[in-house]
Amino acid sequence: MTPQIMMSERLMKPLRLLEYIHSLEDNQFDLVYPRGVRNLSPVHWTPVTVARRAAAFLVREPNTRVLDIGCGPGKFCIVGALTTGGQFTGVEQRKDLCDLAQTTIHQANIPNAKVFSGNIAEVDFSGFDAFYLFNPFEENLETELRIDDSVHFSINLYSRYTQHVAEQLAMAPLGTRVATYCGVYQEVPMGYECLENSMDSRLKFWEKTKHERMVAKPPEAPVTGSKGRFMSRSFDTDERGDWDGAD
């Protein structure tokens, strides 16, 4: 179980909850979570400013359906739902984090956000219009800064999850939007154009502009030392080309 997630600690007066979730500062927003989850925020949860920018890009019209892949305690979904007219759904493997996200959303009475517990390899993307990824699979590549050991990790799982996301995105219609924060964006297949690159290349906005043929070759896991370094790296070259291809 993720350290120190205790639902009794979660309960707070609704007015204080509403104050926190509307905050622009992470140290204030994160007060909605128990201490153990707050302590993970600097590495694992999306900063509020990033969430606002990404959500604004992904939601082009009311009721745009956004999927957050590996949503943790639901921070991106909450911020996105509160600041746009989109419908935000998060998928999270760890049931305790999923339960925490659902509790927060319910207590804050946010109708356009929800979270479910599941494995991304079993999720069909056809029910969504836009996608958000904060380096969701890198825990399979390193051990120093994992959230916990409640789920299985392996390099093969990294390749499997990354390829599934890329295959699903490759089948998405033209105009599909994706926002990626940190990582090497191997989940984004060819055919997606990077429209904006900011925050030292950590935050990227993509849109599908053409159909490309997927090559059935699993992605090779990138080399990384620790999550802290990996998440702050800048990538000037397109690292998607070794496993996607055009006709």
Task: Find which of 10-24, 89-103, 137-151 is predicted with most confidence, using mean pLDDT.
Answer: 89-103
Select from 203, 162, 197 the least CA-distant residue to 182.
Answer: 203
Q: Are 32 and 103 in contact (CB under 8 A)?
A: no
Give the model's pLDDT for residue 21. 87
Residues paired with residue 227 on neighbouring β-strands, in sequence order: none
Residue 58 has pLDDT above 90, yes or no: yes
To the nearest 10°, report the CA torsion of 219, 234, 77, 15. 150
Residues paired with residue 25 on neighbouring β-strands, in sequence order: none
Select from 227, 40, 219 the least CA-distant residue to 143.
Answer: 227
Give the model's pLDDT for residue 176. 98
d(CA 245, CA 126): 22
Give the model's pLDDT for residue 193. 98
The model scores a pTM over 0.95: no
The pLDDT tens digits for 219-233 are: 666 655 434 434 433
Give the model's pLDDT for residue 18. 80
The pLDDT tens digits for 152-209 are: 999 999 999 999 999 999 999 999 999 999 988 999 999 999 999 999 999 999 999 9
Query: Based on the number of CB atoms within 10 Å of its own CB, is 198 exposed (0-12), middle (13-18) or buried (19 or more)?
Result: exposed
Give the model's pLDDT for residue 4. 46
The pLDDT tens digits for 64-101 are: 999 999 999 999 999 999 999 999 999 999 999 999 99
Query: Taking each helix axis from N to C terminus, what angle separates 95-108 and 75-83, rounded to the nearest 10 degrees?
Result: 30
d(CA 65, CA 60): 10
Query: Domains of the chain, with CATH numbers?
Result: 7-221 (3.40.50.150)
Give the model's pLDDT for residue 215. 65
